[in-house]
Amino acid sequence: GARMNFQNLCDTSLDHEMVASVKNETRTTLRVLHLLREVDRRRLYSKLKYQSLVDYAVQRLGYPYDQAWRRIDAMRLLKEMPEIEEKIASGSLNLTNIGYAHAAFKAEAKKIAPLSKEEKLEFLSRIENKSTRETQKIVAEEFGKEVLIRETVKPVTATVSMLNLPVTDDLLADVEDLKGLLAHSHPGLSTTDLFRLMAKEKLAALRTKREGIQKKQKVTPFAAPRKCDDGVRTKDVETRYVAASVNRKLWLRDQSSCRNCGSKYAIQRDHKVPFGKNGKTNLDNLRLLCRSCNQRAAIEQYGLNKMSKFFSANKRDSAEARQR
């Protein structure tokens, strides 16, 4: 395209051009947020084999990691409170400040109780037209400095990453107590070694439980038993019950990963042909999917309008949460 050159503009025209461009930029940002919301609603990123919405934003849309999160946070807050749309469009609330507010709201919900919509709107009004530094100060005074620290993972080498996360004094004390208790069996245990040890032990326990849980499960048909002509109740031919041997083969065959996007987060069993459409509960018709891909599969089978009511925001696939 033609090279942009504004050197010949007079001061008044340059100022007008600048103001108009900023207004257009904020309108474009608002459009992006609404498009992101629809991508999220349809779980379109799962259809395109991305493990999460943030992966889609970074890998498909080309946003840097932090900018992707700013837009996702703003989209989620806009979905919850449509009242802030005009403030985003006017630029009085920018993506960075919304991101800090969203993080603070989530932290408060975990620590004490969720803020009401009115309380959130009141706080957002306090950070309108504020600089990033001013917003950080307001957030820290209201919710504590720790909410300003985000968990991040940054690659250092091909095989090593740097993990940055906020921890409380209680957690640090527990870590030191664990090191002390393990001092004889694991002398010189570093924090990294401890996390590795705990992760391996927890994984082993969960895998054992996963493989053995079906043995303890009572064979109970999900559908009501049918009656024969003579009135005697009989078992249904098909149930959702998965035999332990089939369950083990399934997890081994699919390598404990989503068959669609490869994620290992929130893995669930899924019927390729839905059970509600007479799909069989056997190895050929079963597969492992992550929660988001499972939801996308349900959308494709039953339609978005029918399935949306089952997709609670509180039960959102939090593959994103582990990436922050």
Which pLDDT belongs to residue 269?
A: 94
Average pLDDT over residues 144-163: 83
Per the model's pLDDT, the better-predicted residue between 257 and 167 turns out to be 257
Instruction: For residue range 119-144, list pLDDT tens digits in order.
Output: 999 999 999 999 999 999 999 999 98
Give the span between the Cα atoms of 314 and 318, in whole angstroms. Answer: 10
Which pLDDT belongs to residue 86?
A: 92
Average pLDDT over residues 113-122: 94
Name the phi and psi angles at 118, rounded to 5: -65, -40
The candidate with the shortest Cα–Cα distance to 261, out of 289, 283, 299, is 289
pTM given for the model: 0.74
Tokens 């290992």 locate to 264
Sign of CA dihedral 77, 79, 83, 84: positive
Sequence-ordered alpha helix ranges (H) in 188-290: 191-216, 244-253
236 pLDDT band, cuts 50/70/90, is very low
The pair of structure tokens assigned to 167 is 């921890």
Give the span between the Cα atoms of 194 and 183, in whole angstroms. Answer: 11
Instruction: For residue range 34-69, list pLDDT tens digits in order.
Output: 999 999 999 999 999 999 999 999 999 999 888 999
Which pLDDT belongs to residue 312?
A: 62
Q: Note whether 256 and 203 are within 8 A (CB).
A: no
Q: Note whether 120 and 105 are within 8 A (CB).
A: yes
320 pLDDT band, cuts 50/70/90, is low
How many Cα atoms are found within 13 Å in the side-chain-facing hemisphere of 158?
0
DSSP 133-177: HHHHHHHHHHH-GGGG---EEEE-SSS-EEEE----HHHHHHHHH
Tokens 């957030």 locate to 139
